[in-house]
Amino acid sequence: YLVDKGHTVFMISWKNPGPEEANLGLEEYLDLGVLKSLDAVSDLFPHKKINAAGYCLGGTLLSIAAAKLAREKDYRLNSVTLFAAQVDFEEAGELLFFIDEAQLTYLEDSMAQKGYLEAYRMAETFYMLRSYDMIWSKLVEEYYLGERSKMIDLMAWNADATRMPYKMHSQYLRSLFLNNDLSNGKFNISDEPIVLSDIKAPMFAVSTVKDHVSPWESVYKIHFFIDTDITYVLTTGGHNAGIVSEIGHPHRQFQMKLHKRNDIHLSPEEWQMQAKLYDGSWWPKWHDWLLRQSSGRIKAPGIGNTKKGFKPLRDAPGQYVLER
């Protein structure tokens, strides 16, 4: 959608880790993933700021990266967009039922043997969050009634589970979920605290009404930790379908409201009562917001024209998506 609108878009692919990546932690994902990618974009577009977006855990990582860059007075991020991403996990919804000390110890023992969390274990957890939709209704339709669901692109994407390296997943669940270190100011990178209020780039945050992974009231808490202008969206749909909410999709609605940095903070209930309701996809509103952050049209560079030698490795969609 953004490419069709004339934006130059870069995407980071999750790599499916194996035993050799067992000791990659959150800091490595930050340095080798987010920050190295920013370096590559900056090499192609020197002296241009970047509008960054992160989805779910990617959004949490982006928030950490934005706070780290702000602390270092690195102002390459022009804006930050978060899709169904949490920075406070105290009310992280039904997933908390699966995150306690005993469960984490069991998971860590399991991951230590292979070096990663197997994809099916993560998928099973998310299936249990929506057991009626993801398990029992399908059993009734497919096995009792013999009705096979037609595969669509969103279902195929949802079924394409990924693994997580041992160290990173343990840190994520223990430090962020169980201890809630990020919102409590106890999360460090390179022995330096990550303080979310250091972020000054304008923010666009999207949540979904039926999100069992990142409940919208939990996502909304970004207002209480970020000292900047926040345009907040609450859209119909769930963790996947609410974000992949293309134009023309029937029965879509969303609410949106701007919180300026000096405004009085609203509770989620107050926000929902005051936010304007719109019909259709929220994508055009996001595009309009991005245009207001952008500096205008420029000539797209050739991918091979880089000073640091960033060269194409292979044709799209790349190597990672083909790994098992």
Whole-number Å distance between alpha carbons of 187 and 195: 8
Is the pLDDT confidence value at 228 over 60?
yes
CA 169 distance to own-chain centroid: 15
Find the distance separating the first CA and the last CA of the chain, reported in whole Å. Answer: 28
Which residues, other chains included, contact 126 with Cβ-Cβ below 8 Å and sequence gap of 6+? 134, 212, 213
How much is the pLDDT for 180?
93
Beta bridge partners of 50: 77
Whole-number Å distance between alpha carbons of 179 and 268: 23
Residue 16: both structure tokens together: 């499916």
103-107 average pLDDT score:
75
Is the pLDDT confidence value at 78 over 80?
yes
At 196, is the pLDDT very low, low, confident or very high (cuts 50, 70, 90)?
very high
Output the DSSP codes for 86-101: -S--TT-GGGGGG-SH
Q: Tens digits of per-residue pLDDT, 147-194?
A: 777 777 877 777 777 788 989 988 888 898 889 999 999 999 999 999
**Cβ–Cβ < 8 Å for 85, 59:** yes
Helix, strand, coil percentages for the chain (3-state, nearest 5): 40, 15, 45
Nearest to 206 by CA among 307, 118, 122, 80: 80
Provide the phi-psi class of 259: left if phi over 0, else alpha when psi is between -120 and 50, else beta: beta
**Cβ–Cβ < 8 Å for 276, 235:** no
At 25, is the pLDDT very low, low, confident or very high (cuts 50, 70, 90)?
very high
Q: Decide: pTM greater than 0.95.
A: no
Query: What stretch of H or E contains 119?
Result: helix 119-129
Compute the CA torsion angle 269, 272, 273, 279 (nearest 10 deg).
-160
Whole-number Å distance between alpha carbons of 60 and 81: 11
Positions marked catalytic: 56
112-127 average pLDDT score:
67
